[in-house]
């Protein structure tokens, strides 16, 4: 099936640092989504992107839909302890199936 | 808010057992999905259903089957559990025409 390559797989940062992660695909997607999963919970949607080139913010989070429609990035500014978790990118294609990246595990040292 | 409820948070089963994982959503969504989550592999689609009694294979359907007899309930079945099916299983639902998947909290299955 389709695959997304998400990097990095893990990050260890200090509180207050900025974070950047990205996803690339060999396929074009119509929608890019970014999810966060807290420990013991299911993923929750953070940001949805619908147009190539679109840049969208949600508080300290900023995400962009790549011009080629084959990539996306997520930035988190001024990280805080509650940002800890696993972040997933996802591309949406026909039949509204989601294809997920491998996830980025974020750990923050206070 | 839509709620997706998975019946068990943790399950331990023996090799060869038949295992049922249940998922119920309360918002009349047409589409429901089963994913498994493994470290380094992300979420991989096992099966999905876009209507009652309808099902489609995802990317990794081998060793699994599903049942959707009622709109609100989507069951994942492991006919004969094996140790390589030890994983976190996530159910999700989606309203047709929208992109907002809602996930359950997951069932962590261990097969011994």
Q: Read off the pLDDT of residues B35-93 as tens digits, 9 standing for 90 and up.
A: 999 988 889 999 999 999 999 999 999 999 999 999 999 999 999 999 999 999 999 99
CA A11 from chain centre, in angstroms, equals 13
Q: Please, which residues 49-108 of chain A have a Cβ atom closer than 8 Å to chain B?
A: 88, 90, 92, 95-103
In whole angstroms, what is the distance from residue A57 CA to residue A40 CA?
26
Contact check, Cβ <8 Å, B58/A97: yes
Taking CB atoms and an 8 Å cutoff, what residues of chain A touch B41? 102
Taking CB atoms and an 8 Å cutoff, what residues of chain A touch B43? 43, 88, 90, 98, 100
In whole angstroms, what is the distance from residue B32 CA to residue A42 CA?
15
pLDDT at B28: 86
* Residues counted in chain B: 112
Q: Among A35-44, B17-26, B89-98, which is the least confidently predicted range?
A: B89-98
In whole angstroms, what is the distance from residue B7 CA to residue A10 CA?
31
Query: In a 10 Å sphere around its CB, with 0-12 CB exposed, 13-18 middle and 19+ buried, how is residue B42 labelled?
Result: buried
Q: How far is B73 from chain A (nearest CA, A)?
A: 18
pLDDT at A96: 63
Confidence band for B27, pLDDT divided at 50, 70 and 90? confident
Confidence band for A2, pLDDT divided at 50, 70 and 90? low
pLDDT in tens, A9-68: 999 999 999 999 999 999 888 899 999 999 889 999 999 998 999 999 999 999 999 999
Confidence band for B97, pLDDT divided at 50, 70 and 90? low
In whole angstroms, what is the distance from residue B87 CA to residue B15 CA?
14
In whole angstroms, what is the distance from residue B75 CA to residue B33 CA?
10
Under 8 Å between Cβ of A91 and A32: yes
Hey, is A77 helix, strand or coil?
coil
Mean pLDDT computed over B85-106: 87
Contact check, Cβ <8 Å, A42/B106: yes
Residue A5 sits at the chain B interface (C-beta within 8 Å):
no
């Amino acid at each position: 099936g389709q695959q997304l390559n998400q990097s990095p797989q893990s990050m260890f940062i200090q509180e207050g640092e900025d974070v950047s992660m990205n996803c690339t695909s060999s396929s074009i997607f119509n929608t890019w989504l970014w999810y966060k999963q807290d420990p013991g919970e299911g993923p929750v949607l953070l940001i949805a992107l619908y147009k190539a080139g679109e840049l969208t913010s949600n508080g300290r989070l900023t995400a962009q839909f790549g011009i080629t429609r084959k990539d996306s990035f997520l930035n988190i500014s001024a990280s805080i302890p509650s940002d800890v978790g696993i972040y997933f990118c996802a591309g949406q294609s026909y039949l509204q199936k989601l294809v997920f990246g491998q996830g980025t595990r974020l750990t923050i040292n206070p | 808010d839509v709620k997706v409820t998975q019946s068990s948070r943790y399950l331990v089963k023996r090799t060869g057992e038949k295992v049922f994982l249940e998922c119920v959503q309360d918002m009349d969504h047409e589409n429901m999905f089963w994913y498994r989550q493994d470290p380094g592999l992300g979420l991989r689609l096992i099966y999905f259903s876009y209507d009652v009694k309808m099902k489609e294979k995802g990317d990794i359907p081998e060793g699994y089957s599903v049942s959707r007899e009622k709109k609100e309930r989507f069951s994942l079945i492991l006919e004969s559990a094996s140790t390589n099916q030890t994983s976190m299983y996530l159910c999700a639902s989606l309203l047709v025409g929208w992109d907002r998947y809602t996930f359950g909290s997951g069932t962590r299955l261990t097969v011994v």
